[in-house]
Structure 1
Amino acid sequence: MPLLTILDENASGSILHRLELEINQEMLTVRELIARRVHDEAAAYNERQSGVFQGLVQPTESEKVLNGYRLRPQKLIDAEQQVYRALEAFQRNGFFVLVNDRQVDSLDEEVWLGSGATASFLKLTPLVGG
């Protein structure tokens, strides 16, 4: 099965997190791409149930730490709730998505994710102060 490389980057281009996602189709909508990524992150965390959760969006009842989010011990992540939060964040410009170095603007836009494809998620940091 082909692997899609997913990079989390900040505005200066530094890579914060890298993961690979198995995909079985070359064309997906941005909505499906985000949902697949978030489901994969939640499943991986729920299997090990320890450490820091490094996901696209912050789960409810979690604390932001240096390299992710810390949840209370033995708390599972609700994947569907995380997908909802991620889709909402995309629509509010909480992060941008670039697929093969091209920014996508709509959740319903179809993107090519064949061999060698990359998806970058640029997380935006809110400004502090006035």
Structure 2
Amino acid sequence: MPLLTILDETASGNVLHRLELEIAQETLTVRELITRRVHDEVTAYNERQSGTFQGLIQPTESERVLNGYQLRPRKLIDAEQQVYKALEAFQQNGFFVLVNDRQAESLDEDVWLGAGATASFVKLTPLVGG
């Protein structure tokens, strides 16, 4: 099964987090890509249920810490709620997705994820001030 490399990057190109996802098919919609990524990271956290959650979207009832989110008290994260929040954030320009260095425009867009493919998730930081 081919591996897709997923990178969380800053707008300046610094890599914050890297993970690999097994992908069975060569094309997915952006919606399916985000859903798979979020489900995998939530499942991994819920299985170990310790340390910080390094995910795309901050879980409810968590606080931001260096390199992730800390849940207090420790509890399971709802994967479906995280997927919903992630899809909504994509639509509201909270982050954008580059697949093989090409920006995805919509959730229903098909993207190629064959051997050697990469997907970069770039979170946008809101400007402070007026």
Check whether the contact 1:49–1:73 (CA below 8 A) recurs between aligned residues: no
TM-score by length of 2: 0.98
Q: Which ranges of 4 or more aligned residues in structure 1 deviate by more than 2 Å?
A: none
Q: CA RMSD in A?
A: 0.7
Matching residue of 1:70: 70
Gaps of 5+ in 2: none
Query: Partners of 2:16 and 2:74 in 1: how far apart?
Result: 26
* Superposition TM-score, scaled by structure 1 size: 0.98
Q: Does 1:96 align with 2:96?
A: yes
- Provide the residue aligned with 2:35 in structure 1: 35
Alignment pair present for 1:59 and 2:29: no
Work out whether residues 9 and 15 of structure 1, in 8 Å CA contact, stay in contact via their aligned partners in 2.
yes
Percent identity for Structure 1 against Structure 2: 85
Unaligned 5+ residue runs, structure 1? none
CA–CA distance in structure 2, aligned partners of residues 75 and 125 of structure 1 = 27
Aligned residues of 1:27 and 1:112 also touching (Cα < 8 A): yes
